[in-house]
Amino acid sequence: MSNLPDSLVVVPLENKVLLPSVVLKLTMKGKDASNLTRKHFRLSEQRKAAYVVVIPMKQSAQPSMPSQDDAAGDDKTLKKSASSNNGGDTTSTSLVKQSSSQVADDQLLLEPHERDLLYDYGCVARILRVQRSGLGVFSVFVEGVSRCKVDKLLPPGYEGMTTATMAKVTYLESPVKQQMEDVKDDLIAFRALAKEFLSKIRELQLPDHLTAQLSKLIDNVSPLTLADLLVSVIETSFEEKLLMLSMTDPKERLVKASEWMTRQLHVLKISEQIHSSIEGKLSKKQREFYLRQQLDAIKQELGESDDFSGGKDDDEMVQLARRLKDANLPEEAATVAQREMKRIKKLQPSSSEWSVARNYLELVADLPWSKKSEEVLDISLAKQQLEGDHFGLDHVKKRIIEYLAVAKIKGDLKAPIICFVGPPGVGKTSLGKSIATSLSREFHRISLGGVRDEADMRGHRRTYVGAMPGLIIQGLRKVGVNNPLFLLDEIDKLVHSTHYGDPSAALLEVLDPEQNNSFADHYLNLPFDLSNVLFIATANTVDTIPEALLDRMELIHLNGYTFEEKLHIARAHLLPKQTTAHGLELNQVQIEDHVLLKLAENYTRESGVRSLERTLASVVRAKCVALADLRESGKEHDYNPRVDLQDLEEILGMPGKGELQLTGSLGDVIKESAQIALTWVKSHAYALKIVSSSDQNIVEKHDVHVHFPSGAVPKDGPSAGVTLVTSLVSLFSGYYVPTTTAMTGEVSLRGHVLPVGGIKEKVISAHRAGIRKIILPYRNRKDVKQDVPDRVQQDIEFVYAKTIWDVLEAALIIGDTEKWTTRAFESHL
């Protein structure tokens, strides 16, 4: 080896040993690492190699952390296995000792006490290839070439290396031919031992390509080289590998390698015995499980019957197969179910796919593909049902009867989808229940309020974890028949156009009689016929329903109840219901009609009857308390079941609290105008002759509710000030305003009428609507003269007001104002 350099860069290797013919991956960094890689590339161009000396190093106080990279080599070299106790000959090292802190390159010198940690023997290694791993970091692949003895360490700066340590080495010559002849018998014995080891090599869980390379090397390489390779593979200690590195006598190396190989074989044999012993102690249940798996595999290979047999899961699958057979599935559904059954029989019950497939098959078996309920289309019975369940709503009942009559004559219910539109509490949902009862159909309510995901309607695809069918398929599974009545409640509360999709788009197919005969749910992934399902929808408003969806429905508007209708509903339905619900007899709560009317007029303010029902519940609870107190004191005979007006005030308090409620999508300015208007009317109620005393409060026992129509349209601005004052005065005084009179203007707390904008547009619009008198602020007079067309000015009487009193005198039909102006000055206007 005279052609190899004897002064080499030292690569310290902590607690690892590189032997000849073994390939090792090193991670190097620093300035000298860059110099070394450049030297490698320069020599590679000259078809030469760069060399380093890899010297084992005793463990220091702060050892460097090895990397997780596996040793690697090319097709002609052997990769080191990760099965050795050193974690494999893969490390992360530098040309100098690494520290846990970041230090400058010029400080990366091996200290004198660190040099003492290096062993006297090392391995000269050839650099095979270099890869850049990061900024200033290189992955260097080296192959052991020859054992060497370290003669001395050279000072820093030798041969241009600034921080790296270099060493003077002496190569240990290979054994001569005569020495090899002397150990011929040992060579034959070692090769046989290596073949025996190879037969059990799988116990080490080495990669297949490594096993294949070892098989070739046993017959094709020198026994001494094979000894180095196998010692690197089997479980040997750091000290044993050091001993192998330092030995030069071939006989000693073969003897030691054979000794360690024999020890490894002994360990493998003991492991086999332990494994066999454990297998022999398997429980009867486990052994039966393995045998059944083998039996199933044999049956599949022979193509024999796939019937389930034995075990709880098998019994359930037999029942599931029977249910699928009895479900009378359509051809396409039957094909899919049969395919899934074959698939599930090949899966383990403990696997997640088995559970997913089973849940799907159970859904297919549960769906009412052909099961119907017997329908009764009796018009007289439907009339009785509707009259018994609902009071009033005559036009609604009439349309429902017409709907059912057409269905009876035509023979099916593929008529337009009905949508009940009306305020809350007027009986939309209960009407749907009554229709289902009159038809003898199953009833299912689907609440659409707040639904924001299209998958809620169509279901989730089975590829997702926790996938479920949609609300439509779930409802059909629950009712168990394919001709129920589905009530799509609060269809106007659907959330539209989210990144989850638009659920209203899924309803387009559901509510179209021409398309819903093959409704496709994402989870079911089979067409299902919804043509027999009767859909009825409910909504509070149609403003938020998409036009395409609205086009598929026939709207039936439900107006609010009158006080007389509320009185009848309370007498016939609500009061008996609440009395029974609270455990009282019907004769233990007696409320006269005038008391019920007082409840409806003064204590509730709604179109429906829900607040009225809650108020009645409060009255019934108060009677429960009174009866319970008398029973405890033994005076039950003194109980009075009657409820009069005085009792209402004691139970519910005063009817009103003088509050102002505003509705109709209003802005802050218009809300403030309404508050100013009410404040002005309250302070001038005596001047307006609304009250008989200046100390009276007109809203002490009443609430005031002001609603601006077209609630979905936002409204704001001060222009409605005078109109609000006039409306409140008309409300409290009983004087009316002609329908041909219009007004605009802002009002102040002291009653001054202030100018507003947009006079031309307002006047022209009023003229188009047939208005003949318009009251405007005095300071807007010039806007009329300048902007309003002469023809419009000739058709309309304009009244210009400076104060709100001018507006009231011009607007209200009183007959005799009785000197309101005088009263106005007396009230300090």
Q: What is the CATH number of the domain that holds 124?
A: 2.30.130.40
- 794 in a structural domain: yes
For the cut 80, the answer to whether the pLDDT of residue 128 exceeds it is yes
Tell me the pLDDT band of 444, cut-offs 50, 70 and 90.
very high
Same domain, 70 and 144: yes
Same domain, 643 and 666: no
- Among 133-137, 173-177, 342-346, which is the least confidently predicted range? 173-177
pLDDT digits (tens, 9 = 90+) for 775-790: 999 999 999 999 898 8
**Which residue in 812, 674, 681 sits closest to 735, CA to CA?**
812
* Token pair of 779 as six digits: 């300071």
> Which of the listed residues 337, 366, 395 is the one where a domain comes to its end?
366
Average pLDDT value for residue range 270-279: 71
- 372 in a structural domain: no
Q: What is the CATH number of the domain that holds 238?
A: 1.20.58
Q: What is the CATH number of the domain that holds 747?
A: 3.30.230.10
Using a pLDDT cut of 90, give the percent of the chain over it.
Answer: 17
Q: What is the CATH number of the domain that holds 624?
A: 1.10.8.60
Give the domain range for residue 118.
7-171
Same domain, 480 and 611: no
Average pLDDT value for residue range 418-425: 87
pLDDT digits (tens, 9 = 90+) for 238-248: 898 889 888 88
The one catalytic residue in 372, 692, 762, 819 is 762
More confident residue, 684 or 817: 684
Q: Which residues are annotated as a binding site?
A: 422-429
Please, what is the average pLDDT of the chain? 79
Torsion angle of C-alpha atoms 390, 393, 397, 398, degrees rounded to 10: 150
At 383, which helix (H) or strand (E)? Answer: helix 379-389
> Which of the listed residues 318, 343, 366 is the one where a domain comes to its end?
366
For the cut 60, the answer to whether the pLDDT of residue 178 exceeds it is no
Beta-bridge partners for 55:
12
Q: What is the CATH number of the domain that holds 395?
A: 3.40.50.300
- 374 in a structural domain: no
Beta strands per DSSP E along 672-713: 704-707
- 371 in a structural domain: no
Q: In whole angstroms, give the CA distance from residue 350 to residue 335.
A: 26
The pLDDT score that the predictor gives to residue 455 is 85
Whether 762 sits among the annotated catalytic residues: the reply is yes
Same domain, 480 and 594: no
Which of the 8 DSSP states describes residue 351? S
More confident residue, 503 or 92: 503
Same domain, 13 and 162: yes
Same domain, 260 and 151: no
Same domain, 680 and 776: yes
Average pLDDT value for residue range 318-322: 87
Instruction: Give 531's contacts (C-beta < 8 A, 6+ positions apart).
Output: 414, 513, 516, 517
Same domain, 791 and 669: yes
- 540 in a structural domain: yes
CB atoms within 10 A of CB 766: 20
Same domain, 549 and 605: no
> Which of the listed residues 530, 557, 584 is the one where a domain comes to its end?
557
Same domain, 276 and 289: no
The pLDDT score that the predictor gives to residue 157 is 64
- 2 in a structural domain: no
pLDDT digits (tens, 9 = 90+) for 280-299: 665 555 766 777 777 777 76
- 802 in a structural domain: yes
More confident residue, 133 or 205: 133
The pLDDT score that the predictor gives to residue 384 is 86
Same domain, 262 and 327: no
More confident residue, 396 or 204: 396
Using a pLDDT cut of 70, give the percent of the chain over it.
Answer: 81
Predicted TM-score of the model (pTM): 0.49
Same domain, 227 and 336: no
Q: Which residues are annotated as a binding site for ATP?
A: 422-429
More confident residue, 112 or 826: 112
Contact by Cβ (8 Å): 35, 161 = yes
Whether 438 sits among the annotated catalytic residues: the reply is no
Instruction: Give 645's contacts (C-beta < 8 A, 6+ positions apart).
Output: 594, 595, 598
Helix (H, G, I), strand (E, B) or coil at 787: helix
State how many domains the chain has.
6
For the cut 90, the answer to whether the pLDDT of residue 609 exceeds it is no
For the cut 80, the answer to whether the pLDDT of residue 590 exceeds it is yes
The pLDDT score that the predictor gives to residue 558 is 83
The one catalytic residue in 84, 94, 258, 719 is 719
- 389 in a structural domain: yes
Instruction: Give 456's contacts (C-beta < 8 A, 6+ positions apart).
Output: 470, 471, 503
Angle between helix 394-410 and helix 379-389 axes, rounded to 10 deg: 160
- Among 186-195, 537-546, 799-808, which is the least confidently predicted range? 186-195
51: amino acid identity, one letter:
Y
